[in-house]
Amino acid sequence: MHQDTPESAESAFYVAFEARDLEAMMAVWAADAAIACIHPLAAPLTGRAAVASGWRSIFNAAGQFSMRVERVHEIRMADLVIHVVHEFLSIGQEIEPRPPIQATNVYRREADGWRMLLHHAAPLQVGRTSTARAATQALH
């Protein structure tokens, strides 16, 4: 898939994720040894071998699922773009989507297109978006 914009790179990422296609997934990522992938509640996987191994485990463990992605924020620079997205997963026969995952995705412009540098996914507790409530319930 061509990744001539950050948006097409992001689209390729989620298509590969939903398809559980390891080769397509790793084509989204930069060749950079410093790439980092953080799955919810886990420590970072860094470098292509570890990142690939993480996705392999996830794809092997996962049954059929579908995913809807909503972009909630963008920081756009000439050669680097950061997206914050909410991922809504529906697994197997579940009718109700699960609580969303919030991810920060960083893409960099490379010679041959935009590639992912970092994916940091973490739980987002629904209904806890108010600053004041978040502040009083969790120091940080």
d(CA 48, CA 53): 8
Q: Which of 22, 106, 14, 118 minimizes the C-alpha distance to 68?
A: 14
Of 5-13, 21-29, 54-62, the window that binds a second copy (rule: CB under 8 A) is 54-62
Q: Map residue 15 onto helix, strand or coil.
A: helix
* Contact range with a second copy by CB under 8 A, out of 2-10, 21-29, 67-75: 67-75
Measured from the CB of residue 32, what is the shortest distance to a second copy in angstroms? 7
Residue 61: Cβ within 10 Å count: 8
If one asks whether residue 97 binds a second copy (CB under 8 A), the answer comes out as no
Cα-flanking dihedrals φ and ψ of residue 99, to 5°?
-55, 140
Figure out which of the listed residues 50, 88, 97, 110 binds a second copy, where binding follows CB under 8 A: 50
**Pairing mode of beta strands 45-46, 80-91:** unpaired
Give residues in contact with a second copy (CB under 8 A).
Answer: 17, 32, 34-36, 38-46, 50, 53-54, 57-58, 60-62, 65, 72-77, 80, 82, 84, 87, 89, 91, 101-102, 104, 106, 108, 117-118, 120-125, 128-129, 131-132, 134-136, 138-140
